[in-house]
Amino acid sequence: MSRISAMRSPVRPAVTGSTGDDLATLLVTGQDGDVEFAFVSGNPALDLAGTVLSRRDEPIDVLAAPADLERWVAECDELPDRVTADVPTFESALSLREATYRLALDRVLDRPFDPASLKIVNDTAAGPAPTIKLSDAGLHMSGDLRAVLSQIARSGIAVLADPHACLKECGRTGCTRIYLDRSRGARRTWCGMDECGNRVKAAAYRARRRAATTAEGRGPEGTI
């Protein structure tokens, strides 16, 4: 994995909602102030779709510029370490992302695939794929961004076509990430524990504490 220097501007700050839910801030800002990506969906195409956070409320796009996409590809374990993104290919990537999200949502909602999105994903998958090589170090994959997009589209098709693949939307209200649930009995609730599960549990704990404190405050002794 390569880390490109953090000289770029961080994600726009207007991500903290008035609800006090600062999840997005936590998610997208790393220790160095740079954008931090989540690879929790179990599939590169779903992870790409997940680069727009809270799609229904206040969408936050963590791929704001071609350099963001270069870093996203570098950080994704299943893609080549290094690609260069020009503007047209970056826009193709965003188009693939939105089409993939739409098709994944169609799967989650058990409705027919959107034809325009199918065309985008299928056309992208028809492009040349990355080269893979085996060595003692393992698998090495190389290819330009077009090949990477083709690879992402292929992997998206594989999961969307699999009748046994259990696709779910994250259980945290406001998180619209769709993930592949491979857990035994498909009992997973969150896209990721760090991203959502722990936050929901912490919020529930705080709510219980608040409720208990209020109840005690109303008690006969009037203590808290």
- Where on the chain is the footprint of Zn ion (CB under 5 A)? 170, 172, 175, 177, 191, 196
How far apart, in whole angstroms, are the C-alpha atoms of residue 95 and residue 86?
14
Closest to Zn ion by CB, 143 or 192: 192
Q: Which helix (H) or strand (E) is 138 found in, with range?
A: strand 138-142
Supply the minimum distance, in Å, between the C-beta of residue 177 and Zn ion: 5
Closest to Zn ion by CB, 90 or 190: 190
Supply the minimum distance, in Å, between the C-beta of residue 197 and Zn ion: 8
Closest to Zn ion by CB, 66 or 192: 192
How far apart, in whole angstroms, are the C-alpha atoms of residue 156 and residue 44?
7
Residue 134 carries which side chain, given as an amino acid letter?
L
- The alpha carbons of the chain give a radius of gyration, in whole angstroms, of 20
How far apart, in whole angstroms, are the C-alpha atoms of residue 79 and residue 145?
10
Q: Are the CB atoms for 100 and 108 separated by under 8 Å?
A: no
Closest to Zn ion by CB, 45 or 83: 45
Closest to Zn ion by CB, 146 or 199: 199
Supply the minimum distance, in Å, between the C-beta of residue 6 and Zn ion: 25
Q: If DSSP codes are grouped into helix, strand and coil, which group holds residue 11?
A: coil
Supply the minimum distance, in Å, between the C-beta of residue 43 and Zn ion: 15
Supply the minimum distance, in Å, between the C-beta of residue 158 and Zn ion: 23
Adjacent-strand bridge partners of 169: 178
Sign of the CA dihedral 157, 158, 159, 162? Answer: positive
> CB 64: neighbour CB atoms within 10 A?
16
Supply the minimum distance, in Å, between the C-beta of residue 190 and Zn ion: 5
Closest to Zn ion by CB, 76 or 196: 196
